[in-house]
Amino acid sequence: MRVAVAGGGPGGLYAAALLKRLDPAREITVFERNAPDDTFGFGVVLSDETLGGIEHADPGVYAALREEFVRWDDIDIVHRGKSLRSGGHGFSALGRRRLLAVLHERCRELGVSLRFRTEAPPVGELASAYDLVIAADGVNSAARGAYADVFRPRVEEHRCRYIWLSAPFAFDAFRFEIAETEHGVMQLHGYPYAADASTVIVEMREEVWRRAGLDRCGERESAERCAAYFADALGGRALTGNRSLWTVFRTVVCERWSAGNVVLLGDAAHTAHFSVGSGTKLAVEDALALAACLRERPGVPEALAAYEAERRPVVASTQRAARASLEWFEELERYAGQPPYRFAFSLLTRSRRITHGNLRVRDPGFVRAVEAEAGVPEGTPPMFTPLRLRGLTLRNRVVCSPMDMYSAVDGLPGDFHLVHLGARALGGAGLVMTEMVCVSPSGRITPGCTGLWSDEQEAGWRRITGFVHEAAPGTAIGCQLGHSGRKGSTKLMWEGMDDPLPAGNWPLVAPSALPYRAGVSQVPHALDAAGLGAIRSQFVAAARRAAQADFDLLELHCAHGYLLSGFLSPLTNHRTDAYGGPLDARLRFPLEVFDAVREVWPADRPVTVRISATDWAPGGTTADDAVAIARAFAAHGADAIDVSTGQVVAGERPAFGRSYQTPYADRIRADVGVPVIAVGAISSWDDVNSLLLAGRADLCALARPHLYDPHWTLHAAADQDYTGPGAPWPAPYLAGSRKPPTGRTDAPKPRPAL
C-alpha cells in the first residue's frame, strides 16, 4: 500500500508512524510545507485517555513523550482580585516543537519518507498516485476545499479574538484569569508546557479587541499590551510570540470525512475550541482509530467507513462540549458579577464535561465551599434545597415535565392520568406538571388530549390533585394550559405524529393561514378579532376551573408551535394588524391572554410561562428575542420562565445533545433576573446539581427519565445517601429506600484496539 499524508502536524505524523509500524511494507510519504523545526503555538495538552491509547499503540513514542511531560493537577481561577484553586484534575503537556521532534524521529526510525518544505501536490493527483491519501492539512485544508462537494463542510466563525503567546516561566497550575478593563472583559488561559515556559492565550470579544486598539497592533506590541493587562498573573514578566496573530476561532463540521481513497483527519475534518484542550488530542485519537480500522477491515473503503463511524460520535460530543465552553467565554461579561465560588464553579462546569459529582470526587473541599456560598446546607445536594414562588414552596428543584399521554376520552382525565401523575408525585419530584391541558375541543392536538372546558373535566382533575395532596404531601401539582393552534386535529403520537386524522377533523385556527407541514397539514384559519376574544375567554374559563380543581401552579404554554407560540415566532406570524410585525406586536396577544389568566388565578399561586427560546430555523426566534419575550412576561407578573426550544416549524434543525437547551435558560436567568426552569436532555441528578449550583437554572424539568423511572427523584436521593426533607419516602415505600443488591458484573476487559 502506498500512503500519502498531506500535513506534518502531530496527527499526520502519528498516523504515518502507526501505519508503518503495523505494516513495514507500506510506502508512506508525508508532505509538509514548513521546515522541521517550524511550528505555531507553544504547548500541547494531552489527556490520560489519549496517552493510554498512545502507550498501547506505540510504547516507544509513549516512552519518549513521557520524558518530556509537565504534569499538574490544579486549576486556578482569578477574578476581581480573588484566586480560587480547584485540585485533582490531572493534565499533561509538552512543547509542540518537542512533540513534533519525537514524531519526526519515530517516523525516520520506521522508514517513513518525510518531505519538508514541500507543498503537497493537489489532492486529485495524490488520489491517483497513492492507494490512500490522509488529509491532515489543518483547519484551512486544501483537500477539504477541493472535494467540498463530497465532504460538504460547514465553517462557523465565532465572536472572540485570541492570540497564542508564551511566558518565560512555568505556571504551577492551569490558570484562568479575568481582566475587567476600560475596554471590556479580557481573559487569560495559561498552562505550563516545560520547566521554564508556559502557553498563554489571551482572548476577548471582537468589540473589546477593537476598542482596545489591538486590531492595529503587530505581534510585538500585542504581546506587550497583553503582558500589561495581566501583569499580576505574569509577575511583571514579558510575553513573546511565535508568528502569533490575532484570529477568530472557526468550528469546522463535515458531513462526510472520506471521498474515495481520500480521508480527512484532525482539524481538516473537525475543530473544537482550545478551551477544552482538544485539537491535538482529537487528531492523535483520529490517527489511532484510522490505523486500527485499516488493520481490522479488508479494504480501504471499509476501513474509512469504519473509521468515520467510530470517531464521528466522539468528535460530535467533544464539539458540543467545546461549543458550550467557547460560548461561556464569549458571554463572560454576563457572569462577571457572580459571587467568586459560583463564578469559579460555572467556569469549571461550562462544557458539562466536569460536573458537580466528579468535581466533588476531585476536590470535595472546593465543592463544599461553592455550596456554602450558595447557602446549600451541609450534607444536602443542591437539588434538594427548597424554592419559593409566591405562596408556594417547592421542597426540591426537580420538576416532572409536562408529557402528553394522548389517553383521554373527550378531554376527560381518567384512571390512567391518576396513576400516571400520582406515581410521579409519589416518586418525589417537587413539582409534577400535567400534560398540555386544552382550553377547548378544537384546541386539542389529538382526540386523546385532556381538556378543562367542562365541569366533568374539572371534577376529573380535582380527583387527581386531591390524590397528590393527600398521598404525597409536600408535592406540588401544576396545570399547563394551552391551545394547539395549527398543530391540532392530528393522530395519536404512536399512530403518526403530526399526521392529520383520517376522518373527523375539526377546523384549525392560527395567527396566520400557514399549515405546519405544507401539503400535509390542514391549512388553519387566520384568527380575526372575534376569534381572538373567544380564545382569550376560553383560557380564562379554563384557568378558573384549574384553580377550582386545586392546582398549585399554572403554566401558560407559549412554546412548541402551538397557538400562543405561533404568535411569537416571525416564521408563523405573518399578520399585518396590531398582532403581527415587530416582536412587541407579536407579543401582544400572548400577553393579553397571560394578563387575563393572571387576573382570575389566585394571587398567592404562581404562574409560569413555557417558551421556545429558538426555532432552530433561519429567520425564526433568536436568543435575543427569547430574552425580550421572557422580560415581557416577567414584567407582566410571570413567576418563572420554562425555557424550551423548537417544535415551531417542521423544517427545524436542532443541535441535540446533553442539556442542549440549558444555555438559553442560563442566558434568560442572567439577563432578565427571573427564575427559570431548564429542560432538554437533562438526564442525571448530577446534571441537575451542576446546573443549579452554577446558577444556570432554578428548577430542572425532566420528562423521559420520569417515564423510565417514576421514582427518579427518590432514587436520586438514595444514590446520594440523602435522607432529608427535600425527598421524603412515602411511608408505604420506606422498605424500598435502599437499592437492592445485585449479582457480580465482572467481565473480561476489552481487547486493545491495536
On the 0-12 / 13-18 / 19+ scale of CB atoms within 10 A, 99 is: buried
Cα 16 to Cα 10: distance, rounded to the nearest angstrom: 10
Cα 549 to Cα 450: distance, rounded to the nearest angstrom: 14
Backbone angles phi and psi of 611, in degrees to 5 = -125, 160
Report DSSP letters for 115-127, one per residue. Answer: ETT-PPPPHHHHH
**Catalytic site residue from 516, 562, 664, 722:** 562
Category of 512 on φ-ψ map: left (φ > 0), alpha (ψ -120 to 50) or beta: beta
Cα 538 to Cα 453: distance, rounded to the nearest angstrom: 8
Contact 323, 253 (CB under 8 A): no
Nearest to 12 by CA among 598, 20, 48, 677: 20
Report DSSP letters for 693-749, one per residue. Answer: HTTS-SEEEESHHHHH-TTHHHHHHHHTT--STTSPPPGGGGGGSSPPP------PP
Angle between helix 300-330 and helix 279-296 axes, rounded to 10 deg: 160
Q: Look at the chain and count its residues.
A: 754
Contact 645, 664 (CB under 8 A): yes
Strand partners, 178: 187
Long-range contacts of 324-328 (CB under 8 A, 24+ apart): 324/350, 324/351, 324/352, 324/663, 325/273, 325/275, 325/276, 325/350, 325/351, 326/158, 326/160, 326/249, 326/273, 326/275, 327/663
Cα 432 to Cα 553: distance, rounded to the nearest angstrom: 10
Q: Residue 714 is which amino acid?
A: L
Contact 157, 327 (CB under 8 A): no
Check if 562 is active-site.
Answer: yes
Long-range contacts of 526-533 (CB under 8 A, 24+ apart): 526/575, 532/579, 532/589
Q: How far apart are the first and last CA of the chain?
A: 19
Cα 719 to Cα 498: distance, rounded to the nearest angstrom: 39
Contact 676, 662 (CB under 8 A): no
If you ran DSSP here, which 8-state letter would residue 485 be given? Answer: G
Angle between helix 96-110 and helix 59-66 axes, rounded to 10 deg: 150
Cα 312 to Cα 720: distance, rounded to the nearest angstrom: 34
If you ran DSSP here, which 8-state letter would residue 365 be given? Answer: H
Which sequence positions are flagged as catalytic?
562
